[in-house]
Structure formats: C-alpha cells, structure tokens
C-alpha cells in the first residue's frame, strides 16, 4: 500500500456534516506543514487530524473526486464504501452488475481470487488506511506529546474525547476487516511494525469488543449537539449489536444474550425512534432531526465539499440507466447503467398480484423499484443489458423529501445510513428467536410489526407470533435493509452465502445458480499485501 501524504500534509480535511452543524466546519491544514511537532503545536489541528480519519469512509482523497490517498487504487471504483458495498451486496441475492470491468464477473459469479480484484483490494486497503491514520493520531496525541508541544493542560480533556473517536474508527475498520477477510494483519500504536502479523479472527473479535467497551463511556451521549456523523455511545452499541449477532461466525461461540442486551439499550434510549416515512431515510435532506432520530451513524455527504464517484454518488448513479435519469426525477444527471436487483429481492415483497409483480403495485412501500420495459429475471450476467433486464432500485436519491433536487446535479447531499435503529430491531428479534435470554418473543414481534406497519402504512402487513421464524426474519432483513451493505454478512450467518441450499441467478457462474466453495465465506488477503509482508498467511482456499 503506497500512501500519499499519509499524515501531515492533511490538506482539504473536509467537514463531516452540513452547514447546520457549524462546529464541524473546519479549514484545511496548511499543506506546507510537514512535521508532527508543528502540526500538533496548534490546538485547532487536533480536530482536523481526527476528521481526516473519518473522511476515508466518505472519500478517496484530499484533492477532489479524482484524487486517491493510496497509489494504485482508483479514486472512484476503489473508494471504501463503494468497494465494500460491491462485496457485501453485489455478491448476493440482492444485486447484479452489468459493467464490463474485470472485477464484475468475479463478483457476480463469486469466483474471485487474491489477485487484481478492485473491490477486494479497495475495501482492504482503505480499511487498513483508516487503521494507520488512527494509530498515528493516537501516537501523536498523548499527554506527554501535548505537554512537550506547549498545549495547555485545559485542552487535554477535549483531545481525550478525540482519541476515543479515533479508537472507534479503528475498531470499526477492524470489524469490516474481521468480517470480510477473517484474519487481517493487526497493528496498533503500541506495536509498530513494518510487517505486522495476524492474531486470528477470534482474538481480533475480542480486541474489538474490549476497545468498544473501553471507550463507550468516554464518548458523548447519542444525539449530542455537533456530533452528527461522529462516534458516540449509540454507534458503539450498534456496532456491538451487529458483532454479537454474528459472534458465532467469528469465534465459534454464540453471543445472543449480549446482542439482546446492547440492542435493548439502543431501543430503550429515548434519543432514537423510527422516522415516519421509510423513503425519507435515503433522500437528500435525510439530515433532518425527524429522520436522524433513526440514523445512528451516517457517512455524511455534502455535495460541494465531499465529492467522490464512490459512496452515495455511486449508489444513486449506478442504479439508474442514462435514458431514465434526470435532475427532476433523481436529483442527478448521471445514470451509469450498472447495478440492478435480482429477482430474489423483488419477489420478497408483497404485490397486488403476486403472479405478475409490478413495481407500482407493491403493498409494502419499502420496495422502491423501477420496472418499465424491464424483465424481473436476468438472462446475462455482465453484459450491457441493464435497460431491459432486472428491475432498477430507486431507494437512494438526490431529491429532498419535498421533491426538489439536492444542491449539485453530480454529487449528492444524501447521507449514507451506516447504522440505523431498524437494523437493531431485527438484531434483537433474531437473537431472541435463536434462544437468547433477556428479551421476549412478544417484544420481538412488536418490533418487527413496527417496521412492517411503516412499510404498509397500516397494520395490514402485520404478522402473528407463529409467522415469526428465522427464515421470515432473513427475508424481512432483505425487505428492510436491502442495498445497505450488510446482506453478505446476513447470508454467511445463516449458512447460505456459499451453500447450495439457497441460490440466485448466476451464483457460482451458472444462470440458475449453484453452491460454491465454503472458503469463499471470507475474502482473500490481497496478494499486494502478501508480497510485501511475508509474515502474513493467506486464508485457506486461496
């Protein structure tokens, strides 16, 4: 990984919220500054250094949409969220891509290798970059270093809070690495090495858990002013909820009780609640308080200052054909004719006539699709048949809730909800059904029906306790959380990602779908890292 200007030329450190949160509006560091002693002799630079860490979730580089902090990684294709999304959604029953790019058939047909896959490389390298930035920040912001640079002791407590946020971002990055790559290299500010080794998936899980529990009470309460888009106690619980739900995959031991416990903390936290309209969660003004009450942690976009061809730009533009997109109907002029829904996804929703589904006849309005002149089934895996095969997903848009477009017709203002309360409802319900203690099936049913009532606009979609099964919940997660970057993790937990028990078109490289090798439940460590770090062992099967 060749990193450009990795730490101290932190020009263009972008704010992490819209102008309504003025405390997060920061100016760039002077690009001529090139030593830690000079940078961290000024109190205002401590927040800027922290925000550089956050910015990697949203963007690829410091100098606009075409820049990349990491040499060899495309600024658009290999942006963190875009790469992660391809691996978490594009490999599943929710999506297929029609582009001629070299990585596309590998993702569509689940036959990737450790060499040359842009999405595997991008996710891994960007996540490790966040780890590197966080480690360096923690090294430079100790009390001893601040004292030696003449920082007033009264400022130390503020920096201690910044350090807790940096630790959260590092833990979040290691979560993605653990979930997707199993056993990545492990390095902190305390064990500097040019060739970091591995500690194993279970040990990494334990370390992430310990970190999150250690910083939880050091972070502000959820919804604290000026913390939108920043780590707080709420997102720590949300990440723990997701981790505990999948703990058996990572460690071999289930943690259903713990999942229920932290999920209940969030559910009972008066700072959170469901927004009234599902579609408003994915619109250009989704930073409004009536929407952010559900969004626990977003990746924040503001078109003039967070420009990228990954992230939300990708989610919106790649889901629409050029012949159907306009500023009036999408808030953007870009239609890239790339991603489309597989029939497994669209058929999970209820229609007025289930035998002949139509996008405008979905009873559950969480299904936001476009089907004009499109077949439900996919006949070709990755050729340019986007406009005629597979329904489009219009879930994400650069339109505001009043129908007006965002501020830019290329780069959206829409934030990505990385964690939201609805997922926690479903985590709780599943942990209860799997035998976890501390919750009840009655409450689980109530939570699931709250989501369905929002989708249907009434209680007509409500289910009974006998309907609430694990298989039902997996389908309900698809209906509620589709295209939100977690489907692969769900299918792995259910034992269905590689299995022949559940297939979708072109899984395994055949039209009707087939099972694949079990080792593909994790991705390979990229060969580019193995070639420079001989202490690393590749995942089995690759």
Domains and CATH numbers, the chain: 1-186 (1.25.40.390), 219-300+421-497 (1.25.40.10), 304-414 (1.10.3780.10)
CA distance 44 to 149: 13
Q: Supply the pLDDT for residue 383.
A: 66
Q: How far is residue 297's CA from residue 239's CA, in Å, rounded to a whole number?
A: 10
Q: What is the CA radius of gyration of the chain?
A: 22
Assign residue 95 a region (left: φ > 0; alpha: ψ between -120 and 50; beta: otherwise).
Answer: beta
- Between the CA of residue 214 and those of 64, 164, 218, what are the distances in Å? 36, 9, 8
Q: How many Å apart are CA 31 and CA 481, to the nearest integer? A: 41
* 411, two tokens: 């780069």
Is pTM beyond 0.85? Reply is yes
Beta bridge partners of 295: 420
Query: Cα angle vertex 284, ends 343, 123, to 5°?
Result: 60
The gap from C-alpha 352 to its chain's centroid, in whole angstroms, comes to 33
How does pLDDT run along the chain (542 residues), one tens digit per residue? 444 333 333 333 333 333 233 333 343 344 444 578 888 999 999 999 999 999 999 999 888 889 999 989 999 999 999 999 999 999 999 999 999 899 999 999 999 999 999 999 999 999 999 999 999 999 999 999 999 999 999 999 999 999 999 999 999 999 999 999 999 999 999 998 889 999 999 999 999 999 999 999 999 999 998 899 999 999 999 999 999 999 999 999 999 999 999 999 999 999 999 999 999 999 999 999 999 999 999 999 999 899 999 999 999 999 999 888 999 999 999 999 999 999 999 999 999 999 999 999 999 999 999 999 899 999 888 766 677 899 999 999 999 999 999 999 999 999 999 999 999 999 999 999 999 999 999 999 999 999 999 999 999 999 999 999 999 999 999 999 999 999 999 999 999 999 999 999 999 999 999 999 999 999 999 999 999 999 999 999 99
**Token representation of residue 485:** 């970057």
Q: Contact 244/314 with Cβ under 8 angstroms?
A: no
Are 401 and 425 contacting, i.e. CB atoms less than 8 angstroms apart?
no
Compute the C-alpha angle 251/184/195, nearest 5°: 135
pLDDT at 9: 33
User: Tokens at residue 159, please?
Assistant: 């920096």
- Residue pair 105/516 in contact (Cβ under 8 Å)? The answer is no
Task: Say how far apart CA 378 and CA 506 lie, in whole Å.
Answer: 9
Judged on CB neighbours under 10 Å (0-12, 13-18, 19+), 288 is middle
Q: Minimal CA–CA distance to 94: which of 350, 347, 424? A: 347
Q: Specify the pLDDT at position 384.
A: 63
Which among 354, 414, 482, 419 has a CA at the least distance from the CA of 88? Answer: 482
Residue 405 phi/psi, 5° resolution? -75, 160
470-481 and 421-433 helices, crossing angle to 10°: 170
The predicted pLDDT at position 8 comes to: 30
Dihedral of CA atoms 95, 100, 106, 109 in degrees, nearest 10, equals 50
Helix (H), strand (E) at residue 120 = helix 118-140
Sign of CA pseudo-dihedral 404, 407, 410, 414: negative
Give the Å distances, CA to CA, from 240 to 92, 163, 195.
Answer: 24, 19, 29
Dihedral over alpha carbons 274, 268, 484, 353 (to 10 degrees) = -50
Backbone angles phi, psi at 293, to 5 degrees: -65, -25
* Strand duo 416-420 + 339-340: pairing: unpaired
């Amino acid at each position: 990984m060749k990193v450009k200007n990795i730490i101290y030329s932190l020009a263009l450190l972008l704010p992490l919220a819209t102008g309504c949160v003025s405390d997060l509006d920061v100016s760039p560091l002077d690009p001529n500054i090139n030593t830690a002693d000079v940078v961290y002799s000024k109190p205002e630079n401590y927040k800027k250094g922290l925000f550089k860490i956050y910015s990697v979730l949203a963007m690829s580089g410091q100098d606009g949409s075409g820049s990349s902090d990491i040499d060899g990684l495309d600024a658009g294709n290999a942006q963190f969220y875009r790469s992660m999304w391809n691996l978490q959604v594009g490999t599943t029953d929710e999506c297929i891509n029609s582009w001629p790019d070299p990585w596309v058939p590998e993702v569509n047909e689940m036959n990737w290798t450790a060499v040359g896959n842009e999405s595997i490389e991008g996710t891994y390298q960007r996540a490790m970059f966040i780890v590197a930035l966080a480690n360096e920040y923690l090294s430079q912001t100790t009390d001893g270093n601040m004292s030696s640079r003449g920082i007033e002791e009264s400022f130390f407590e503020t920096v201690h809070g910044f350090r807790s946020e940096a630790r959260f971002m590092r833990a979040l990055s290691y979560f993605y690495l653990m979930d997707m790559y199993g056993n990545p290299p492990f390095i902190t500010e305390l064990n500097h090495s040019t060739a970091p080794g591995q500690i194993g998936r279970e040990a990494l899980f334990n370390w992430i858990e310990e970190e999150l529990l250690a910083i939880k009470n050091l972070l502000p309460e959820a919804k604290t002013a000026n913390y939108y888009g920043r780590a707080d106690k709420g997102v720590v619980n949300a990440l723990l909820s997701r981790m505990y739900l999948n703990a058996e995959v990572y460690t071999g031991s289930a943690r259903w009780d713990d999942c229920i416990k932290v999920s209940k903390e969030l559910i009972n936290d008066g700072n959170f609640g469901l927004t009234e309209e599902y579609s408003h969660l994915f619109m250009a003004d989704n930073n409004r308080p009536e929407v952010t009450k559900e969004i626990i942690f977003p990746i924040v976009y503001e078109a003039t200052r967070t420009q990228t061809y990954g992230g939300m730009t990708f989610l919106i533009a790649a889901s629409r054909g050029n012949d159907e997109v306009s500023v009036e109907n999408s808030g953007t002029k870009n239609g890239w004719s790339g991603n489309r829904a597989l029939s497994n996804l669209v058929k999970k929703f209820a229609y007025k006539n289930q035998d002949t589904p139509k996008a405008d006849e979905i009873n559950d309005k969480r299904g936001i699709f476009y089907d004009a002149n499109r077949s439900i089934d996919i006949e070709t895996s990755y050729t340019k048949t986007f406009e005629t095969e597979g329904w489009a997903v219009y879930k994400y848009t650069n339109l505001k809730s009043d129908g007006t477009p965002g501020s830019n017709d290329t780069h959206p203002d829409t934030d990505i909800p990385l964690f939201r309360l609805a997922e926690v409802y479903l985590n709780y319900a599943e942990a209860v059904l799997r035998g976890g203690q501390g919750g009840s099936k009655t409450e689980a049913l109530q939570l699931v029906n709250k989501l369905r009532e929002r989708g249907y606009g009434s209680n007509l979609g409500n289910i009974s306790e006998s309907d609430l099964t694990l298989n039902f919940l997996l389908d309900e997660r698809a209906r509620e959380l589709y295209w939100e970057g977690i489907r692969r993790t769900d299918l792995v937990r259910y034992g269905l990602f590689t299995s022949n028990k559940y297939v979708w078109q072109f899984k395994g490289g055949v039209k009707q779908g087939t099972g694949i090798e079990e080792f593909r439940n994790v991705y390979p460590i990229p060969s580019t890292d193995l070639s420079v770090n001989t202490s690393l062992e590749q995942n089995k099967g690759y």
